[in-house]
Structure formats: structure tokens, C-alpha cells
Amino acid sequence: MATASQARPIDGDKLNALLGQAVQDMGAALHAALIVIGDKLGLYRAMADGKPVTSAELAERTGTAERYIREWLNANAASKYLEYHADSQTYSMTPEQAFILGMDDTPVHLPGFFHMVASCMKDEEKLAETFRTGKGFGWHEHEKGLFEGCERFFRPNYLANLTTNWIPALDGVEQKLRRGARVADVGCGHGASTILMAKAYPASEFKGFDYHSASIERAREHAEKAGIADRVSFEVAPAKSFPGTNYDFVAFFDCLHDMGDPAGAAKHVRQALASDGTWMIVEPFAGDDVTANLNPVGRIYYSASTVICVPASLAQEVGLGLGAQAGEGRIREVVTAGGFTRFRRAAETPFNLVFEAGP
């Protein structure tokens, strides 16, 4: 065994490169809290028009304290999320900065992700204990910011791809939806995916299911607000026993890997589908081996999987613990174990894999 007197030699260049990365990570970690604060207080939205403002003007506009706003603005300028104009001591947002931070319905709206980060940090002590015990930590046990943050993070991707790329890539599904189909959205959360589909395909009937009752309550509120509650319903139900049969289309969005018994869920989907029905499974982008996922996207997903996905699965029966980087091969095994004979990759983005399964 190595001792302190037998320390391994240090490569100075490698050390400096690693420290440089660590400095970037330190700034990003601390700035995450400022993004959440700026989003909650409407600071980014108040600057989204691109007009330069002083710290006093932004404070007055948002009903906040100037001294805090001044420091917040400087931190954002250092992080390249705002522009600083030294001659006038004002700050502004470029169109790109406003697009990702100051507008709610863009395909790349980012603040929701940082609400998820904040929630996980609040749960850090409880999550650390799961490492010691091996027990799970259920989705419903997380601090409430995770639920809204998750919807706000995933919704832009669904907004950009769901009805324009993913559903059209499935065999005959879009035609069924336009004519009128029975649809189940399982693991629907706050109902973002369900409502997007319902708006795009008004002839079809949509049912959203999730085991988390608070999320279902919020989904119902969203459906009422969207004016489609007459043909969209939400019900508390787990993936292995959601009600109904003869569904033409069943969708799982970014949730199969979170389930304790994904093969059991697959078996129930097989029983609930019509004989010519289709199951769409949207999962995080991943290769089939660890090496393929050692990249910036994999870094995000492995980290999220450690504190959200694997603990959620281990808190349920079976506790398979697929993780967010399961990859196509493992997903195929789960789906075919549920009785499906047809499985293919139908579409992909840099962040998602979209699979189509059928009897």
C-alpha cells in the first residue's frame, strides 16, 4: 500500500488543467442558485427586451433591493448570461441570453433544470444516507422544487420535438391520432406532454397517469387552464396497473428507467394496448457502454441518475435500478421481457432516444 512518504508524482500540467476545470465547476455550482433566484423573482424576464438597465432600474422594476441586484447582475455578467456596458454601467441581455433564460416557451428554456438542482441540494443529507444504507428515495420524497423544475426542463424539448419529429417518426401513429385515438400518457407528471399532444390532435382522447398525487392535481389545473379538460383526464395510478384497455397509443416520457419494475410496466402496457397499438418510449440519450457516455451530456445524466433516477427505482418493488444511462440494449431487454416482439429506435435528439414498440 502507498503511504504519504511514497506519494505518486504529480504532473503539473495535468494538475493545472484539472484545477481549471474545478474553478469552472465551482462558479457553475454557485451560480445555479442565482439562476433559481433570478427566475423566481422575474429578473431575467424583466430584462428579456434587451434594453440596458442599471441595477437601480432593475430593482425598481422588480420590487427588489438594489444592493442584491447589483451583485446578482455582476455574477451573471461574469457567467456570460448578461452583458455589462462599462461606459454606462448598465446591463442587458442578448437575444440568445433572453431566449434561454427570460422567455418561458422556447425550446431551450433552462431555468427549470436549475430548480431541479436546487431541490436535490436541499435533499443532500437524505440522499447521502441512501449511499450508506442502499435504500431508495422515492420521487415523492424529494423537495417540491423537483417536480416543477422537471416539467419546466423537459417541456421545451417536448415542445420542439414531440408532434413535429417524434410522433411522425412512428409507424401510422400520427394518422390514428388525427382520426381519433385512445391515448395513455404514463408517468405524466404535471401533464406537459399530455396537454401538448391533446392540443395537436383534438380528435383524440387522452388520459394521463402518475403515481404522484400532487403532480396529478397540478396536471388537472393545467388542463383546465388550457381549456381542454373536456377531453383530457388525469388519474393517480402506477405504471403497472393504470386502468383501461384497447389503447391505440401509450407513451412513456423519460420515466421507464425510473421505475422499480420496468419489465412489469412493459407487461401491463402490452395488456392495455389494442392489437395494433403502439408504445412510444422516450429515454435519455445513452450508448450501451459506459465509455460512450463519458461526455458532457452523459455527465449531466449520470449525475441526475445518481440523485434522482436510481434512488427512485430502488424505492419501489423489484428495484431494478436501470439508471438514466441504461442505453438501447437494456431498454430493449426490458421491453421484450414484457411481451413485445417489435422494437426499434424511431428518432433521436442529442438528449433523447425515442423507441417504438408493438405486439
Residue 3 lies in a domain: no
- Number of domains within the chain: 2
Question: What CATH code is carried by the domain that includes residue 93?
Answer: 1.10.10.10
Do 191 and 124 belong together in one domain? yes
pLDDT on residue 105:
82
Do 210 and 261 belong together in one domain? yes
269 near 250, Cβ under 8 Å?
yes
Q: What average pLDDT score do residues 95-112 get? A: 94
pLDDT at 351 over 50: yes
pLDDT on residue 5:
55
Residue 316 Cα distances to 145, 326, 344, angstroms: 22, 18, 28
Do 77 and 211 belong together in one domain? no
Do 97 and 121 belong together in one domain? no
Which tens digit of pLDDT belongs to each residue from 249-281?
A: 999 999 999 999 999 999 999 999 999 999 999
pLDDT at 4 over 80: no
CA distance 311 to 309: 6
- Domain-ending residue, one of 70, 85, 103: 103
Do 138 and 63 belong together in one domain? no
pLDDT at 239 over 50: yes
Question: What CATH code is carried by the domain that includes residue 284?
Answer: 3.40.50.150
Which tens digit of pLDDT belongs to each residue from 144-200?
A: 999 999 999 999 999 999 999 999 999 999 999 999 999 999 999 999 999 999 999
Do 311 and 351 belong together in one domain? yes
pLDDT on residue 7:
84
Do 82 and 157 belong together in one domain? no
Do 163 and 311 belong together in one domain? yes
Residue 2 lies in a domain: no
Q: What is the pTM of this model?
A: 0.93
Do 165 and 209 belong together in one domain? yes
Which tens digit of pLDDT belongs to each residue from 291-325?
A: 999 999 999 999 999 999 999 999 999 999 999 99
Do 207 and 147 belong together in one domain? yes
Q: What average pLDDT score do residues 207-228 get? A: 97
Domain coverage including residue 324 = 113-358
